[in-house]
Amino acid sequence: LGEDRGDEFTLDKIDEMEVDYATAMVERAKVHEAITTELEMKRALKAAPRFSPDAPVADEAAPATRNIRIAIATKGGGVINEHFGHAHEFLVYEIGPKDHRFLGHRKCTAYCMGDESCGDGETVLGGIIKSLEGVEVLLASKIGFEPWADLEKAGIQPNGEHAMEPIEEAIRAVYDEMAAAGKLDLPVAGASAQAA
């Protein structure tokens, strides 16, 4: 450590090297095959149902749940890693009891443009809320008090509990939590007739 070995790897020395390209291509193919195999295993593990002794047992009488839209503040990388006030766009997903899908991006003006202007733009916040029409939950790494209250007034549930979590795991956790609390139940057919 701390030793500079840059002189050992100059372009002149690379030009002097003799490379057996046929052997190199065989080795390269082996490496690619190993990478592909590992990737397929990871995908298969991710797709496989996971057993959890604490998971509720499926109840035949459990009410059906509806799909919802969830907005995500992210800088990228597949994780929730953007502060609400710094977001220039939100990713919108639709999630239901069994699956989810990416719907698109919702562009907006950032609520904060640095410490000096954060919270100054009520019209900016109004524009953001308008761009999130149809969304029921917003996930961000952090959300300030004022935007939090305005989002709730607009019927959007802000949530900062899943910062730095993978998006797909977080939206599933939020959906399952809401479903368990009965917030996503569909009305039972004939229930209104029975109540009368």
Which two tokens mark 81?
A: 């890693």
Query: CA separation (Å) from 69 to 91, 109, 120, 185?
Result: 10, 21, 28, 15
With 0-12 / 13-18 / 19 or more C-beta atoms within 10 angstroms meaning exposed / middle / buried, residue 156 is buried
Q: Express each pLDDT in 129-153 by its tens digit.
A: 999 999 999 999 999 898 999 999 9
Distance CA 118, CA 105 (A): 23
pLDDT of residue 54: 62
φ/ψ of 107, rounded to 5, equals: -75, 150
**pTM recorded for the entire structure:** 0.63
Q: Which DSSP helix (H) or strand (E) runs through 102? A: strand 100-107
pLDDT of residue 109: 87
Q: Express each pLDDT in 30-81 by its tens digit.
A: 999 999 988 888 887 777 666 555 655 555 555 688 999 999 999 999 999 9
Distance CA 131, CA 129 (A): 5
8 A C-beta contact, residue 121 and residue 102: no
Q: Express each pLDDT in 172-185 by its tens digit.
A: 999 999 999 989 98
Q: In DSSP terms, which residues pair with 68 in a beta bridge?
A: 95
